[in-house]
Structure 1
Amino acid sequence: MRFDHVGVAARDAAELAGLFSELLETPVAHEETFDGMRVVFLEFDDGGYFELLEPTRGGPIADYLDREGPGIHHVALATDDLSAALDRARDSGVDLVDEEPRPGAWGHEVAFLHPRSTGGVLVEFVDPDH
């Protein structure tokens, strides 16, 4: 596995993208509206990303913003075999949010691990090739 991105909950993804793009000299690599969110990916030279998540309707990110406010929402790790990564997590006793891979932003398959099993960190496994 390798680091893929950090997901950041934002009230205004475009405004935050503008700030980070200028401050960190990193371009917007991808933008879309997906699953009730405006999603903006900023790409770093090493291939990692900031994923900015702005809710366009109610849902998990809107709930997170109401509860916690803007900030880091999750950390994503890329894998070439998402099913095997989930099996390994399950076999290690980690509670899964997603028992099976599901569609994610940018056409990727994703699955989340529950933070109660991962030291309070919401971990996303992502297969960027799907």
Structure 2
Amino acid sequence: MTHDTPIRVDHVGIAVESIADAEPVLTALGCERLTEESVEGRFRWAYYELGNASRLELIEPEVDGFLTDFLDEHGPGLHHVTLEVADIERVIETCEAAGLRVVDRTRFDEWTEAFVSPRNATGTLFQLMEYHEGYANERPVGDGMYIGGRRLDRE
């Protein structure tokens, strides 16, 4: 089973102890910071653009939780790959039909997300994200939050 839903890599998430300590690495590689935000005091994330279509995210813990557990077990490094999808339900159905475990489905006002468990043949945590209309309106860089300045549409 396959889907015909538009999908692309949105960003790669890198777990770090400190965004401030890790940012010079990305700057040396030519990245430009787009934004930095805190998620309910649990963790901070900073988003970087590299070229015109590649993005990296640094995530650091603010309190003990899933991210400190990850860092304790693995140290700094690749945490997840986020895929922007035009129809998250269709992609989830395809993943589950292929025997992949999809967890933590959550709908927010500005996006819907779900995660493909890293207990798959790649060992990678995939975040599926469908942006809703207006997601970028609340961000200082506006449509710069989308690759190429626009979110995927269902085609």
Q: Shorter-normalised TM-score: what interval?
A: 0.7 to 0.9
Asked if residue 48 in structure 1 is aligned to residue 47 in structure 2, the reply is no
TM-score normalised by structure 2 residue count: 0.73
Structure 1 distance, partners of 2:21, 2:10, is 22
TM-aligned CA deviation for residue 14 of structure 1: 2.1
Secondary structure of the residue aligned to 1:38 is strand
Does the residue aligned with 2:127 lie in a helix, a strand or coil? strand
Contact preservation (8 Å) 1:114, 1:123: yes
Question: What RMSD, in angstroms, separates the aligned Cα atoms of the two structures?
Answer: 1.7
Shift of 1:118: 4.3
For the 8 Å contact 1:30–1:40, the answer to whether it is kept is yes
The residue number in structure 1 matching 2:92 is 86
Matched, 1:95 2:98: no
Q: Are 1:28 and 2:52 matched, yes or no? A: no
**Is it true that 1:123 corresponds to 2:126 in the alignment?**
yes
Q: Matched residue pairs, number?
A: 125
**C-alpha distance after superposition, 1:70-117 (max 9, x if no partner):** 11111111111112111111122111122x3344xxx54321101112
TM-score normalized by structure 1?
Answer: 0.86
Q: Between 3-12 and 45-54, report the one with greater CA deviation.
A: 45-54
Give the aligned residue type for 2:44: R
5+ residue gaps in structure 2?
Answer: 1-6, 136-155
Q: Which runs of 5+ in 1 are unaligned?
A: none
| Separation of aligned partners in 1, 2:25 and 2:131 | 26
Identity of aligned residues (%): 30
CA distance in 2, matches of 1:117, 1:19: 30
Following superposition, the deviation at residue 26 of structure 1 comes to: 1.6
